[in-house]
Amino acid sequence: MKGYDLNNFENGKAFIHFDGVINGKFDYGPRICINTKGEKLFELPDREMIVNSFAEEDVAFVNGNNHKEALMDNKGNFLTDFVYDNIYGGSEEGLFEVQRDKKHGHIDLQGKEIIPCIYDKGNYFSEGIAAECLNGKWGMVDYFNNTVIPFEYEHIYTCKNNLINAKKNGKWGLINKSNEVVIDFIYDFIDCWTVRECLVFPATIKNDKWGLIDRYGQTVLDFNYNEIVCISDDESNFGKYYKIRQDDKYAIYSAAEQCFLSGLVYDEVGMYSEGYISVKEKNKCGLVDLSQNYIVPPEYDYIREVFFEGLMLVMKDGKYGAINSAGDLVIPCYYRILNNCSEGLLCATNYNNDTGFIDKENDIIIPFGKFINKSFGFSDGYAVVSDKEQGDVYIDKTGKILEIRL
């Protein structure tokens, strides 16, 4: 399909942009939406429109020829006009963020503008309220655009567990949804992203030194450190573990137990993922458990830090492989390029520059040299690759090319 731009499948649908060069000039072709059977579902009415994929909510953000965006449902019906500068974000609590004429607002999944685009800046909804900036001051509104937190702050982040990180008179503190001060405005900064399920969170108060405070403002860890960063790999674990740096050494800290799990012994600390934490000592990477036992000795030049479908990528002597959650090297460090596991398969490129797909046991599923990798893996059972004769194509997990019937 030379001249086609293929997007990954999402929610059983994908978009194909038929772009190419005709008579020496770039030509926009039709924009087609297909299903996983290769059947045409609908065509966009304008050939300059661009759609990357459907969101998780099965709606799409469409960029039009006027450089404006609109919301479209999964049948090709436009839910809004092309009036927005940008539509973005996940629809937490059923709303997307939008910008129109450089003003911020929110629309619902049906395209209705729930919060009018009258604000200078804003953030997503959480726990029924969203931060907005009006005339240089921040406050918070509910779904009906009623003011919940007055517009009197220099900055406000999202609400988590009835806690809101806010800045006033140049200092940061915490308030609740009733605008009551929970923690006084005395901090140079409080790490807003950890105001989720965690019990303690980083703050800095003097000389750029960091410490930990609890949700009542009590100091849990003195302000003696150069850096404190959350190391969880997803929101369900957010705020459970931190890496703490003093000078050039790192330690691991448990927020739940409010104690150090290690001393200041590591050169670097990576993410917490599936019960393990990647660390670096003497320029080599390994994995430790929460008791600081090495599950994977520090022998790798690089570790991807996060498990994908039970595998974590590693590199040794410039070659990539993968370990499992037991720390076993299940894919030898052999490949020049190795992508994260996706739907049970990994796209790999060897040192002959041949690309193929392997499974979690390093068995070859799609032979090397048949295709050229064009994507980061499978989505909804298909991957985008480049065929030497046909150009970009979709393949299934057997390597069969999807026949597109338009």
pLDDT score recorded for residue 146: 98
- 357-395 confidence digits (pLDDT tens): 999 999 999 999 988 877 678 999 999 998 888 888 999
Whole-number Å distance between alpha carbons of 221 and 223: 7
In the block, which residue shows the tokens 């409010």? 258
Q: Which amino acid is at 287?
A: L
Q: Give the C-alpha separation, 174 to 254, whole Å.
A: 22
Cα torsion angle, 223, 208, 121, 194, sign: negative
Assess contact for 224 and 212: CB atoms under 8 A.
no
Q: What is the mean pLDDT of the chain?
A: 91
- Specify the pLDDT at position 1: 45
Comparison of pLDDT for 10 and 197, the residue scoring more: 10
Give tens-digit pLDDT for 77-93: 999 999 999 999 887 78
Give 278's contacts (C-beta < 8 A, 6+ positions apart).
Answer: 269, 270, 271, 285, 286, 287, 303, 305
CA dist., res. 181 & res. 139, Å (int) = 14
pLDDT tens-digit map of 124-181: 999 999 999 999 999 999 999 999 999 999 999 999 888 999 999 999 999 999 999 9
Residues 132 and 121: beta-carbon distance below 8 Å: yes
- Of the two residues 27 and 277, the one the predictor is more confident about is 277
Rounded mean pLDDT, 348-360: 92
Quick one: 113 exposed, middle or buried, by C-beta within 10 A (0-12, 13-18, 19+)?
middle
Contact 13, 26 (CB under 8 A): no
Give the β-pairing of 346-349 and 113-119.
Answer: unpaired
Q: Which pLDDT score, from 0 to 100, does residue 256 have?
A: 85
Q: Reply yes or no on whether the pLDDT at 263 is more than 50.
A: yes
Quote the pLDDT of residue 319: 97
